[in-house]
A and B are shown apart, each in its own frame.
Chain A
Amino acid sequence: MELLYINSWSEILIGSVIGMVVVFVALIILVLLFDFIQYLVLNSSKKKMVKAGKKVEEMVDVSANEIAAISMALHLFINEMHDEESNVITIKRIERRYSPWNSKIYGLNNTLSR
Chain B
Amino acid sequence: MRDLKYKIGILLIILGLFLPMGLFAQASGETSLIMDSLTKFWNNTAFANFEFKYLVMIVIGIAFLWLGIAKNWEPLLLVPIGFGILVGNVPFTEGYQIGIYEKGSVMNILYSGVLTGWYPPLIFLGIGAMTDFSTLIANPKLMLIGAAAQLGIFATFIGAYALGFTPQQCGAIGIIGGADGPTAIFLASRLAPELMGAVAVAAYSYMALVPVIQPPVMRLFTNSKERLIRMKPPRQVTRFEKIAFPVIGLLLTTFISPSAMSLLGMLFFGNLLKESGVTERLAETARFALINIVTIILGLTVGASTQADKFLTVDSLLIFGLGAASFIVATAGGVLFVKFMNLFLKEGNKINPLIGNAGVSAVPDSARVSQEIGLHYDKTNHLLMHAMAPNVAGVIGSAVAAGILLSMLT
Contacts and interface: CB of A to CB of B under 8 A. Distances in A.
B is bound to A:
yes
Interface of A: 3-4, 6-7, 9, 12-13, 15-20, 22-35, 37-38, 41, 45, 61-64
B144 A61 contact: no
How many chain B residues sit at the interface, stated as a range, is: 35 or more
B238 to A, nearest CB: 6
Contacts of B146: 27
17 contacts: A3-B410, A4-B408, A16-B155, A19-B157, A19-B405, A20-B154, A23-B401, A26-B253, A27-B146, A27-B147, A30-B252, A33-B252, A34-B245, A37-B241, A38-B137, A61-B236, A62-B236
Contacts of A17: 154
B244 interface: yes
Contact of A61 (B148, B235, B245, B405): B235
B144 A31 contact: yes
B371 interface: no
B158 interface: yes
Contacts of A63: 233
A7 B170 CA distance: 11
A8 B304 CA distance: 35
The 9 closest A-B pairs by CB, nearest first: A64-B233, A16-B154, A34-B140, A31-B140, A27-B147, A19-B404, A26-B256, A6-B167, A24-B147
Contacts of B245: 34
Nearest to B406: A3
Contacts, number: 109
Interface of B: 137-138, 140-141, 143-144, 146-148, 150-151, 153-155, 157-158, 161, 167, 170, 233-236, 238, 240-241, 244-245, 248-249, 252-253, 256-257, 385, 393, 396-397, 400-401, 404-405, 407-410
A35 B140 contact: yes
B241 A64 contact: no
Contacts of A13: 158
Given A15-B408, A61-B236, A33 B401 contact: no
Given A23-B150, A31-B140, 14 more contacts: A3-B407, A6-B408, A20-B150, A24-B144, A25-B256, A26-B257, A27-B396, A27-B397, A33-B248, A34-B137, A34-B248, A35-B140, A37-B241, A64-B385
Most chain B CB within 10 A, of A9, A17, A26, A35, is at A26
A12 B256 CA distance: 20
A33 B70 CA distance: 46
Contact of B140 (A22, A26, A38, A45): A38
Contact of B400 (A4, A26, A41, A45): A26
Contacts of A45: 238
A38 B241 contact: yes
A31 B385 CA distance: 18
Most buried by A among B147, B236, B257, B409: B147
